[in-house]
A and B are shown apart, each in its own frame.
Chain A
Amino acid sequence: MATRPPTTTARLPRRLVLALAVALLPATPRAQSPLEIAVKAAYLYKFAPFVDWPAEADSTAPFAICVIGADSFGPVLERAVSGQRVGERPIVVRRLSLAVANPPCQIAYLGGTRAQPVKDALRILRGSPILTVTEGSDPAGIIDLGLVDGRVRFRIDEQAAADNRLTISSKLLSLALAVRPRKAAA
């Protein structure tokens, strides 16, 4: 399960990647190994048990993982979540080109597009009970994935989670590369 990413993966400075991503439109994702993509796809649904969402009206509705904007997963994500459940809820994958207010998502991976950069999408989703996941963006989502020493790691913005009325388990926090804590008053 925990797999070491191949050492052949190109080690590009994140800045350069981002610059390229912004420069090349439509956004072309930087070169990622299929394994890395698979790991990240698995991460998306694995975050679910460690996060508490505010109570919903329809608790039996499928648990939706949305990919908003550029989609670097492709069918890998569907394969990863197939057969998986969050609690009793089956998982569905939704793809949205643009972030809108209160989208039908519990987890949203923000790929970003030229028309709507990650930053804009985050702003739109702020306040909605959605776990936003970004990848090496600034500003970052609640969880920001990254590659450290060839391994997929993540940072957590607890304040952002609180803004979206989400509670993140301390267990997950302990595994995070870095945590931006909540403001004291909260």
Chain B
Amino acid sequence: MRPWRWRSDRARPSLVLASMAVLIASSLTVAIYSERQSIAQARAAAAVQARVLADTVTAALSFGDRAALKEYVNAMRANQQLDAVGVYDEHDRLVAGFTRSRLASELPHTMRAPGRIIVIAPVAQAGQRLGAVYLRDRGEPVGRTLSRYLAPGLLVVMASLMFLVMTLDAQALARTNRALGTQIAEREKAEAALRQSQKMDAIGRLTGGIAHDFNNMLAIILGSLDLLLRRYAQADPKMLRFAREAMEAANRAADLTRRLLAFSRLQPLRPTSADIVTAVNRIAELLRRALGEGVIVETVSAGGLWRAHVDLSQLETAIVNLGINARDAMPRGGKLTIETANTYLDRAYAEEELEVTPGQYVMVAITDTGTGIAADLIDKVIEPFFTTKPPGMGTGLGLSQVHGFTKQSGGHLRIYSEIGVGTTVKLYLPRSLAEIDRTKAAEAAPAAGCRRDVTVLVVEDEAGVREFAIEALTELGFDVVWADGPSGALELLDAHPEVSLLLTDVIMPETNGRVLAEEALRRRPSLRVVFMTGYTRNAIIHNGTLDADTHLVTKPFTVAGLGAELDAALTGA
């Protein structure tokens, strides 16, 4: 159906042209035919007249009666159509005649004259040639000839105009078609991108929800095991070994939930103004050892690389994940290149891609020389639990983490792949204009040793987590008071002026942790606040990143991790 329609569209102008040509040709033929007819008629009429004149002048010519000849010839003047009439004797000499233009003194032999009809009739009597009569007809008036050809002429003009209009129309149609085609293609692309993004969002919510619940449970398991190992260090070594194994497994589970949270962009990030080159070099060194001799790891760094606003530990995880994928794609060895460069994603690029803000980015590209990813799988590889690896070899969460992390960092992920050639994954991380690395400054601060003077108010609605936190704080040498909700917490705060630190969960049935912290700070501005969270989609976090001066303990946490965060809160800004 389609090719046919296309062909008929193409054929239409030439069809019209052909029919116009036929019309013109036929009208021209008719005009020429009618002109020929009219000339033939005029010629026949002239021939008859010549014949009559020849008969009339026979005797006069024979006997040289010029007067009579003159009379006969002059009688022909009445016929305005006649241009010249001549009577010639047997020696072809002009004897009598009249002309309105010019008449040869000798009988002309040519019968041709432009636009004229010439007839010569012999004058003879009883088989004896006596002379000739020459008749010249004016022929058809120019006006009549023109009118005869007016119709075909008009047709030619009409056909030209029609063809011109049709050509312009066809061009306009083709242009519109092309524009429409481009628009449809763009729309389809945008819709596909939107669908993909909505799908990822839905999967993210689902995994995020599950991971959050798991995290709370893991917090209790890990915390309990941690306390068990600390308090009963002298217990039966066999029992301790079981406890350590359980803890190890719980740690792996915690790692998994962290990755899920990373994908669903719900993992709390601690972005700093990070030096990417240093980080990349450090990870490259790590990968050289981890990936084995078969894989050559190279780094290519552009000079004057900007700092990026990212969570360095998450970036490290991302690059390691990509490194592992690269190794799996190169079973017989190959080359892994980590490249860094400053990039500007312009408005045109941002319009092409969904969820990209134009601006300055630090690009980290990880390229392998592996088997590549099929084009129809490119969109799928970032989905959680999607893996091309054999069962048990991969979790299907590696690229999901990379994707979730870059998106959550306000960056952009792009995968280029060619079967049999290799894969390049490009991370575009937003440029940081801050010069000071706050995390490092905080890390550099000396740890304070005045724990026993500090009273901590713990607010947590989940009893298991709360109890672990109390135990852990006690273990660390803090004095502890606790409440299971915000209202109780505020009462305790008023009743215990010695409380100098508030450790609160973020999501609670009554009010969220942030509102509680604000109210507490209003009542006691000197109070330090540390949040506990496993699930970060709430008021305390903007776009997944913490306020710069917020202290946060991520569930599940260890006693040591909690202690470090509290120290940071007490000594830091």
Are A50 and B64 closer than 8 Å at their CB atoms? no
Beyond known contacts A1-B95, A171-B58: 10 more, CB 8 A cutoff: A1-B64, A1-B89, A3-B64, A50-B58, A50-B126, A87-B127, A87-B128, A171-B55, A175-B59, A175-B60
Chain B residues close to A by CB (< 8 Å): 55-56, 58-60, 62-66, 68, 89, 95, 125-128, 130
List the one stretch of A16-24, A41-49, A64-72 in contact with chain B: A41-49
Are B126 and A46 closer than 8 Å at their CB atoms? no
Q: Is the interface on chain A under 10, 10 to 19, 20 to 34, or 35 or more residues? A: 10 to 19
Are A50 and B125 closer than 8 Å at their CB atoms? yes
Are A2 and B66 closer than 8 Å at their CB atoms? yes
Q: Among A3, A48, A85, A171, point to the contact of B59 (Cβ < 8 A).
A: A171
Name the CB-closest residue of A to B124. A49
Chain A residues whose C-beta falls within 8 Å of the C-beta of B127 in the assembled complex: 49, 87
Q: Among B55, B60, B62, B64, point to the contact of A49 (Cβ < 8 A).
A: B62
Are B59 and A174 closer than 8 Å at their CB atoms? yes
Are A175 and B55 closer than 8 Å at their CB atoms? no
| A/B interface sample: 8 pairs, CB < 8 A | A2-B64, A46-B62, A49-B128, A50-B62, A86-B128, A169-B125, A171-B125, A175-B68
Name the CB-closest residue of B to A174. B59
Chain B residues whose C-beta falls within 8 Å of the C-beta of A48 in the assembled complex: 126
Per DSSP, chain A at the interface is helix
> A20 vs B46: C-alpha distance in the bound complex, in angstroms?
54
Are B89 and A169 closer than 8 Å at their CB atoms? no
Q: Does A147 contact B (CB under 8 A)?
A: no
CB of A15, distance to nearest CB on chain B (Å): 26
CB of B58, distance to nearest CB on chain A (Å): 5
Q: Among B56, B59, B66, point to the contact of A50 (Cβ < 8 A).
A: B59
Chain B residues whose C-beta falls within 8 Å of the C-beta of A85 in the assembled complex: 128
CB of B444, distance to nearest CB on chain A (Å): 147
Chain A residues whose C-beta falls within 8 Å of the C-beta of B130 in the assembled complex: 49
CB of B323, distance to nearest CB on chain A (Å): 129
CB of B74, distance to nearest CB on chain A (Å): 16
Are B59 and A169 closer than 8 Å at their CB atoms? yes
Are A49 and B63 closer than 8 Å at their CB atoms? no
Chain A residues whose C-beta falls within 8 Å of the C-beta of B125 in the assembled complex: 49-50, 169, 171
Chain B residues whose C-beta falls within 8 Å of the C-beta of A46 in the assembled complex: 62-63
Q: Does A172 contact B (CB under 8 A)?
A: yes
Name the CB-closest residue of B to A149. B67
Chain A residues whose C-beta falls within 8 Å of the C-beta of B63 in the assembled complex: 2, 43, 46, 175
Chain A residues whose C-beta falls within 8 Å of the C-beta of B60 in the assembled complex: 175
Name the CB-closest residue of B to A152. B63
Chain B residues whose C-beta falls within 8 Å of the C-beta of A49 in the assembled complex: 62, 125-128, 130
* Known interface pairs A1-B89, A171-B58, A172-B59; A86-B126 also in contact (CB < 8 Å): yes
> A87 vs B126: C-alpha distance in the bound complex, in angstroms?
7
Chain A residues whose C-beta falls within 8 Å of the C-beta of B58 in the assembled complex: 50, 171
> A86 vs B60: C-alpha distance in the bound complex, in angstroms?
18
CB of A59, distance to nearest CB on chain B (Å): 13
Chain A residues whose C-beta falls within 8 Å of the C-beta of B56 in the assembled complex: 171, 174
Chain B residues whose C-beta falls within 8 Å of the C-beta of A43 in the assembled complex: 63
Within 8 A of B (CB), among A158-186: 169, 171-172, 174-175
